[in-house]
Each structure stands twice: as C-alpha cells, then as structure tokens.
Amino acid sequence: MLSAFDRLFDRAASKLKLDCSAEEKERARQDFIERYDTALQMVDQVELPEIPEAVMADLEAAIDALSPAAVAGHLATVPLAVHVQDSMRRIATRLAEQRLLEHLVSQADDKYGGN
C-alpha cells in the first residue's frame, strides 16, 4: 500500500509540476500513514496481494485526468472535511447525551408511578 502511495504521490506531484524534496515527500508519506493507520494495520493482518499493475495504471490515469478545478476542489475539501467531522462528533455527543437523559427520565416515570 505504501509503495502505491509513493507511486501515486509522484504522479500527482508531476501533474501539479511540484518539486518536492525528499523530506517533504517523506512528510507526506508519514501523514498518509498517520491518517490511515488503522486501515493499514488491517491490510497488513490480512496480507492482501499487491495492487495489480492494471489497477495502478487506472489510478494514475485518474490523476492525469484531473482538471485544475478538480484539484482545487479536492484541496478546498480537505479542511472542510475535518471541520465537518469535528462538527458531526459534537452533534453525535449531544444526541447521545439527550438520549441518555430521555432514557433516565423514562425510567424514573415508570419506576415511581409517573410523578
């Protein structure tokens, strides 16, 4: 999986005409590892075969087909996705708290005759 990331990173950097240092590329690789650590661990446990060359070619072609507007859209999405995930966590926590309170109230009503 990491070799596939390296190959696709190089393709994307080439598409964007970016000149990344070895340190920058390694930082991007580490960010990928941190972001997808759980999934990478699962892949290691199952011992999936390498991604077939035809699939890698399709993934590279998808990068090649990205328009500048699509690239900008992907870049704009990243910080928004993080914000939306944080907001969804807060909403889920509030809903769980509300359900817990409703559950406790319903138990109190049943247990003590509804008064």
* Residue-range domain boundaries for the chain: 1-66, 67-115
The pair of three-digit structure tokens given for residue 97, joined into one six-digit string: 């708290």
Phi then psi for 29, rounded to 5 degrees?
-65, -45
Q: How far is Cα 67 from Cα 77, in angstroms, rounded to an integer?
A: 15
Alpha helices in 1-115 (DSSP H): 2-15, 22-35, 37-46, 53-65, 68-111
The pair of three-digit structure tokens given for residue 34, joined into one six-digit string: 């941190």
pTM equals 0.64
Q: What is the pLDDT of residue 41?
A: 85
Percent of the chain with pLDDT strictly greater than 70: 94
pLDDT tens-digit profile of 68-93? 999 899 889 988 988 898 899 999 99
Q: What is the pLDDT of residue 29?
A: 94
The pair of three-digit structure tokens given for residue 33, joined into one six-digit string: 């590892």
SS3 42: helix
Mean pLDDT on 15-26: 93
Percent of the chain with pLDDT strictly greater than 90: 57
pLDDT at 114 exceeding the cut of 60 = no
Residue 46 burial (CB count, 10 A) = 7
Is residue 43 a contact partner of residue 95, using CB atoms and an 8 Å limit? no
Is residue 6 a contact partner of residue 29, using CB atoms and an 8 Å limit? yes
